[in-house]
Structure 1
């Protein structure tokens, strides 16, 4: 039975990140050096501007408040398993905050000199710390601290953005079809046909010396350059380009692009001096994942029915799961998945338009709104869309409107067939309220902007995140220019929009506990969308509108643009960009795990690390909401 103090310390630490990634021996060695401290309520652990201790701290029992006494501001409360006081040791700076026991507390003081070599040798620990920086760093990839982790170059820990996009090994054919340099061309052509292959390897002394593809035969034999009675040596591409057999899909694609070839010869060590083990074609690469985005995109464009598209949407979801399992950066994931979904929607509209008895009477645009308009709809959630069509004479408006409302009904029905749920609030092009001419849309948005009540603010907040999925972008540009001009004329609208962004319920109580739903179907669940995601999205929208930026809809990209426009607030905006991506990824993973929208989270199913990462975004949200309050002089709605 374990009874030594160090073993009990190790038993505690092993359940909390980043110590979960240490070996048993590493944990025991570290635990042996730990000092156990008792702090009474209001006991001081360290003070602002104090030289950092040799230790950083983990809360074993109780809670520690991190405050800025000068600003009279509570920054954070650390509870069981939380780390604090590490960043000053890493960054070689004095403490930036006061650490005071919020109640009677027992702390583990861990010597940094013992922890540092473990963290340097363990990339999982390093990645956790560069993401969190062990409390109080709202932006994990802050320019200020990038490259200074542990006081060494950040090449020790590679941020996720620098990882290869595909780690999956590519499958290749081991059934080699070969010939010699002296094989007659008519003979090898028959061999390729009989074996249903598009290439043949030329072998000499069991080593590859060349390769012949269908393209070579077309270009050199059918053109008359080489007679059909010629030999393989006269046609083959030589020397043959060889690669190792453990290529990833991405490496194979890059190799083919680099050399402008369609086949790769794989050898035991990647050189032409060892025997061939397989041949890899461009087709093999494209289908290797089964759900390759390029393959899916081509399949979408070839679809002749919504039934086919529904099957492809399953492929898109499988691709999403694969990307998340490989920990591909969420920005790249969202771009790929959004492009595929946009393509699916566009194909649905194309099929519906082609099925109509008569073509559209005037030019029009289909607008995807909400999360799809922002490029953030990774899961199969409901559809938000609208139709904008060219102005027509008043006498033709009723008939033209009827045509496009019918088109909206047909398209939304087919979108539902392929997996896009109907919007419960009917904010869809099938609703006459979301199908207008350019003039009508200008009148509608004018009313929202000049009479910004709660309903108008809600409607405009959804509408302003639109993306042109199909049709005339010029029409949409005209509407966008009009909207931004009206916003400029009515600055009070931004205040109301900011007010709406501040009315979402708080994500946590004073003691950092998650505030959950108190009744209804989702009682005791945490509403990730309403309490954290939407406030972050709403804040980005009103801030980007205030800068008259028209072309950026994605929340993370909006914050990054704001960081450029307001250098004095860049750290906060970059933190918001990171937080919005982290929240999107978190929701997507939860939704895939539970086969739902990922909105409502069962907290008892989250581990400590997941809770830490989720809570980390709360501080960023609070700060961006405080900025909105001050900038737009909005009455506080923050509970």
Structure 2
């Protein structure tokens, strides 16, 4: 075989996955590659050529992927590949024809490896195999390492919030029977130097827990009889998770309820105990403390500090490499806590406290908060659903609720959640409605299908109960799932509307920029996935509001391959990471929350992130292609 020039090694190892492959494997590949040339307009690979016979890496030029045999145009080009990118992986792995035509956009040179050598290389190189089978996930892992390095020099030994609880459990939990005396339990806790004791039945099922703070509050201060059964003084409201649950789920549970421990249970049997110390000794993130301060806040000043703590927490988590899906859930969960506390304080201070009306009121989150997808840049989208008390009309109930809702909206604005410019807020009489009025409103949108109705559907159909009479929101959710799935015309119009927002991939250049020469990551990047997931969930009767959950649960009912859905999810989460970074960097420059935007210049990104962003937009187009196919658009 001919000698390999150093420039070839230098070129190939600048690009993923070759930059992570062992050098002997890279040399093995290069020795078997030949250089192919394709003039502008020539077809490189097409379905007519039969099963793919070679793996290609672009050395120079641009390759267009087309959904038809026509020459590349904005209408039919669905992907654009540039220097260092490789194709067509899916067809090679499946030993099938390509689904698209790959055509030279200009003069193109490609390194080419035979299909036989490609498969042998997969067996030789674990890094290459991982990339080929998990392409976008692998690229994202590369990017995550870069991001984490940018934010923090912290040790790689830090505990990951993505770890399963089974890897965090430090020791077998200390247990006792429920009829053991308090005196005996305290003696064992002292001898074993543990901060908690769990009562279990004969089958190992947890019944209650006693912690050191309980000893002071329930035993020492009341000076109870120490010879009574310990179960009498234990907390019997237990939060349990499985060993497979992730650390971030335990952290959310602790933060939301103010607990210091979460029980780990498998097949109803206690197998472990995870404490706040276990989760955050290395993380240095005091989630429970932030949550506790918000839950017990009695003034707007304390809540404003809580809002600042939430943003600092988000920044710390980004430094520790917490994934976007988990991070946005954390932000949304803590914003929920803050919102709920504002609602509680304002309703308690109003003349509605203790009235039948207030007992039948539910405060709802809409939009990104309703989907558990908030970032550092979020305004208010909220509404009220109420049960009209006997002897009152809906208008009379609304008249009493609106002044309180206005004060809540104003207090939230003081905490860093700007008032919605479109007035999608509970203080707007249009969005403070009884259950029956909400059903009538939703029915009107579903029947009408006007541009305004479709816009409202994208906001309000993502509602989620935050505080109060949550059964009203649950009733509305189940009703909507049933009614929407039966209305194919409305879903068709939603799909048609969603497809008007095309991901900004160009033909002549990598990206299509707006008038300010930037890309709107939310409108053009996040929204295509969110819209597709909403339509899929409505069509299949899925009641979750979170986009990732909607995609996963809908996919199962639509018989979509798991690998395809996970690629969409990875792409969505990468764009979310870019948004979070952009918001954080803007905040660091002194911009206020209401001045943050979602506009980035792709030229400001490093080469890896630009490449992944292109791949993410291609995945958005694939999600839209599924919509187009389902609704024949």
Q: Distance in 1 between matches of 2:215 and 2:417?
A: 48
Tell me by how many angstroms 1:486 deviates.
5.0
1:85/1:492 CA distance change after superposition, 3 Å: closer
SS class of match (2:471)? helix
Q: Is residue 55 of structure 2 the alignment partner of residue 56 of structure 1?
A: yes
Distance 1:366 1:631 in 2: 35
- The residue aligned with 1:337 is 331
TM-score norm. by structure 2 comes to 0.69
The equivalent residue for 1:164 is 163
| Residue aligned with 1:60, SS | strand
Correspondences of 1:126-275 after superposition (within 5 Å): 128-132=131-135, 164=163
Shifted more, 461-470 versus 441-450: the winner is: 441-450
Structure 1 pair 516–633 and aligned structure 2 pair: CA distance change class (3 A): same
Output the TM-score relative to the length of structure 1: 0.68
User: Is it true that 1:587 corresponds to 2:562 in the alignment?
Assistant: no
Per-residue CA deviation, residues 564-583 of structure 1 (Å, 9 max, x unaligned), is 21116766555434433333
Q: Show CA shifts across 1:327-379 (max 9, x none).
A: 44433333333222212211111122222244164020101000000111132
Helix, strand or coil at the partner of 1:388 = strand
Aligned to 2:548: 556
CA gap 1:65/1:491 in 2 versus in 1, 3 angstroms: closer
Q: Identify the residue that residue 103 of structure 1 maps to in structure 2.
A: 106
What is the SS of the residue equivalent to 2:579? helix
Give me the whole-angstrom Cα distance separating, in 2, the residues matched to 1:19 and 1:290. 36
Partners of 2:407 and 2:161 lie apart in 1 by 44
Instruction: Tell me the residue number matched to 1:539.
Output: 532
**Which range is displaced more, 18-27 or 338-347?**
18-27
Structure 1 residues 383 and 198: alpha-carbon distance in aligned structure 2, compared to 1, 3 A threshold: same
* Rounded Cα–Cα distance in structure 2 between residues aligned with 1:440 and 1:494: 22
Taking the TM superposition and a 5 Å limit, the aligned residue runs for 1:183-582 are 289-359=283-353, 361=355, 362=357, 363-392=360-389, 397-484=394-481, 486-487=483-484, 491-511=488-508, 513-518=510-515, 523-549=516-542, 551-567=543-559, 573-582=565-574
CA distance in 1, matches of 2:273, 2:562: 45
1:106-135 CA-to-partner distances (Å, cap 9, x unmatched) read 223468969977997675x66654442799
Residues 11-65 of structure 1, C-alpha deviations (whole Å, 9 max, x = no match):
4334433344468898788667654333223445455465655x63221221223
How far residue 470 of structure 1 moved from its aligned partner, in angstroms, is 0.6
- The 1:20–1:419 alpha-carbon spacing in structure 2 relative to 1, beyond 3 Å, is farther
For 1:608 and 1:512, locate their aligned partners in 2 and report how far apart those are by CA, in whole Å. 15
Partner of 1:8: 7
Structure 1 SS opposite 2:362: strand
CA distance, structure 2, for counterparts of residue 558 and residue 92 of structure 1: 31
- Once the two structures are superposed, residues 440-492 of structure 1 have per-residue CA deviations (whole angstroms, 9 ceiling, x without a partner) of 33333333223221112211221110000111122223333444565467543
Aligned 8 A contact 1:348 1:415 in 2: yes
Q: Do the aligned partners of residues 107 and 505 (structure 1) sit closer, same or farther apart at CA in structure 2, a change above 3 Å counting?
A: closer
> Measured at CA, do residues 444 and 106 of structure 1 come closer, stay the same or move farther in structure 2, by a change above 3 Å?
same
- Rounded Cα–Cα distance in structure 2 between residues aligned with 1:467 and 1:441: 14
Whether 1:83 aligns to 2:69 is no
When residues 429 and 602 of structure 1 are mapped into structure 2, their CA distance, relative to the original with a 3 A threshold, is same
CA distance in 2, matches of 1:473, 1:215: 31
Deviations 1:386-405 (A, max 9, x none): 11122246865444323211
Judge conservation of contact 1:42–1:101 (CA < 8 Å) in 2: yes
State the SS of the aligned residue for 2:5: helix
| Partner residue, 1:175 | none
Conservation of the 8 A alpha-carbon contact between 1:35 and 1:110: yes
Show the counterpart of 2:590: none
Secondary structure, aligned partner of 1:337: helix
Cα deviation for residue 311 of structure 1 reads 2.4
- 1:602: which partner in 2? 601
Please tell me whether the aligned partners of residues 67 and 100 of structure 2 are also in contact (alpha carbons under 8 angstroms).
yes
- C-alpha spacing 1:609/1:296, structure 2 compared with 1 (3 Å): same
Hey, what's the Cα distance between the residues in 1 that align with 2:281 and 2:301? 21
Aligned residue pairs, count: 525
Distance 2:8 2:288 in 1: 51
Distance 1:114 1:565 in 2: 35
Q: 8 Å contact 2:21–2:125 — kept in the other structure?
A: no
| Partner secondary structure for residue 433 of structure 1 | helix
C-alpha separation between the residues in 2 aligned to 1:261 and 1:457?
47
- When the two chains are superposed, the root-mean-square deviation of aligned CA atoms in Å is 4.7
- Structure 1: distance between partners of 2:444 and 2:419: 26
8 Å contact kept, 1:448–1:457 = yes
Distance in 1 between residues matched to 2:276 and 2:522, nearest whole Å: 42
Instruction: Return the alpha-carbon distance in structure 2 between the equivalents of residues 39 and 318 of structure 1.
Output: 52
Residue deviations 1:166-224, cap 9 Å, x none? 9x999xxxxxxxxxxxxxxxxxx9xx9xxxx999xxxxxxxxxxxxx979999999988
Contact 2:377 2:583 in 1 (8 A): no
Is the 1:7–1:28 Cα contact (8 Å) retained in structure 2? Answer: no
Contact 2:377 2:597 in 1 (8 A): no
Tell which structure's C-alpha radius of gyration is larger. Answer: 1
